[in-house]
């Protein structure tokens, strides 16, 4: 509800029309269930949450254009990929894409504590639970330019791979899968700190940090990165926000361009989910000033 209310302060949602598509990443409540059961549970939860939020704002959007995704912190990347596909084949003109999650539920906290994944006095490399909801409006490039947002921010193709050495296995990821996604998002030209910023979903856990470090070593060794690159880690302020991580990271990137403090040509949003999904895509601003600073 709050995420939609905040979005409505940026542009009038009524003007989006009933043809808008909604693509939202949600927490995974599979508990060992099969794909069909997971999909049904996710849709039921999503329709309940979104339906109440729209009703509270006096909006009515057709449910047949609502799609919901799991996939942990990479869930937003999956939602973004699906929304881009619908836009590119002209099935939709406008999409709302986002993520919602809370890792502060008491039962979930007890589970994390039993697995020694929480940051505590005797476990300094655990995660700090958080909660968030973030949404953004996605259109084909050229639609609405100069109307609501300046500069225009483009989200590039989403690159997704699966890492077999994920949480729940005894294996440790060597960074190959993650670096492959990031390399695809960066492109072929080597980039440095003035051209690139990373927004990652690092959450304080050693497993995730080790894989990230391995990926950076591979990217630098392969020539994709010329030098040390700046990293923004939203979890230091928001905690681990689960399925909302990608949406939060993307909104941070967009706001950095809008307020002129990105000081980079592109921002790469990176996701490492517990279930093995690895994802990366770039947020690229057009007509970004050469010098930073807030306006």
At which of 79, 113, 139 does a domain end? 139
Is residue 148 one of the residues assigned to a domain? no
What's the order of all strands across the beta sheet hosting 21-25? 66-69, 21-25, 94-102, 131-139
Residues 106 and 35 in one domain: yes
Question: Rounded to the nearest 10 degrees, how much is the dihedral formed by the CA atoms of 173, 241, 230, 206?
Answer: -40
CB neighbourhood size of 78 (10 A): 24
Looking at residue 150, its pLDDT comes to 47
pLDDT digits (tens, 9 = 90+) for 21-47: 999 999 987 666 778 888 899 999 999
Residues 133 and 232 in one domain: no
**pLDDT category of residue 294 using cuts at 50, 70 and 90:** very low
At which of 139, 168, 185 does a domain end? 139
16 CB contacts (<8 Å, ≥6 apart)?
Answer: 94, 96, 137
For 266, phi then psi, to 5°, come to: -150, 155
Q: If residue 272 lies in a helix (H) or strand (E), which one and from where to where?
A: strand 266-272
Residue 137 has pLDDT above 60, yes or no: yes
**pLDDT category of residue 288 using cuts at 50, 70 and 90:** low
The mean pLDDT value for 199-223 works out to 95
Looking at residue 37, its pLDDT comes to 87
Tell me the pLDDT of the chain averaged across its residues: 89
Domain harbouring 232, CATH code: 3.40.47.10
At which of 139, 168, 200 does a domain end? 139
What sections of the chain are H helices per DSSP? 2-8, 35-56, 75-88, 106-114, 176-186, 206-221, 235-238, 245-258
Specify whether the CB–CB gap between 54 and 61 falls below 8 A.
yes
pTM to 2 decimals?
0.91
Looking at residue 144, its pLDDT comes to 54
Residue 270 has pLDDT above 80, yes or no: yes
Is residue 104 one of the residues assigned to a domain? yes
68 CB contacts (<8 Å, ≥6 apart)?
Answer: 23, 24, 25, 26, 42, 43, 45, 46
Looking at residue 29, its pLDDT comes to 76
Residues 243 and 167 in one domain: yes
Counting the structural domains of the chain, the total is 2
* Nearest-angstrom CA–CA distance, 281 and 80: 10
Residue 253 has pLDDT above 90, yes or no: yes
**pLDDT category of residue 175 using cuts at 50, 70 and 90:** very high
Domain that holds residue 214: 153-285
Interhelix angle for 75-88 vs 245-258, to 10°? 70
Is residue 120 one of the residues assigned to a domain? yes
Looking at residue 193, its pLDDT comes to 55
Q: Work out the percent of the chain whose per-residue pLDDT is above 70.
A: 89
The mean pLDDT value for 185-195 works out to 71
């Amino acid at each position: 509800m709050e995420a939609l209310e905040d979005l409505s302060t940026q542009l009038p949602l009524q003007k989006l029309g009933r043809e808008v598509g909604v693509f939202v990443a949600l927490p995974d409540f599979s508990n060992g269930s099969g794909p069909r059961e997971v999909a049904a549970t996710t849709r039921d939860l999503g329709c309940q949450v979104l339906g109440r939020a729209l009703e509270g704002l006096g909006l009515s959007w057709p449910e047949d254009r609502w799609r919901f995704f799991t996939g942990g912190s990479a869930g937003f990347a999956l939602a973004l990929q699906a929304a881009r596909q619908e836009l590119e084949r002209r099935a939709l003109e406008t999409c709302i894409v986002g993520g919602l999650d809370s890792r502060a539920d008491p039962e979930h906290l007890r589970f994390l504590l039993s697995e020694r994944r929480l940051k505590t006095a005797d476990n300094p490399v655990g995660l700090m639970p958080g909660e968030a909801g973030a949404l953004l409006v996605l259109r084909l490039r050229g639609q609405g330019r100069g109307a609501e947002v300046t500069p225009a921010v483009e989200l590039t193709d989403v690159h997704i791979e699966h890492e077999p050495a994920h949480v729940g296995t005894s294996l440790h990821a060597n960074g190959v899968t993650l670096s492959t996604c990031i390399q695809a998002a960066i492109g072929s030209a080597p980039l440095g700190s003035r051209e690139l910023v990373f927004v990652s979903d690092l959450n304080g856990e050693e497993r995730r940090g080790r894989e990230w470090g391995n990926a950076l070593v591979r990217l630098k060794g392969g020539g994709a990165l010329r030098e040390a690159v700046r990293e923004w880690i939203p979890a230091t302020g928001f905690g681990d926000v689960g399925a909302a991580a990608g949406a939060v990271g993307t909104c941070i990137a967009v706001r950095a361009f809008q307020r002129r403090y990105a000081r980079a040509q592109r921002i790469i949003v990176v996701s490492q989910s517990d279930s093995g999904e690895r994802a990366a895509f770039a947020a690229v601003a057009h007509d970004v000033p050469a010098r930073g600073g807030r306006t």
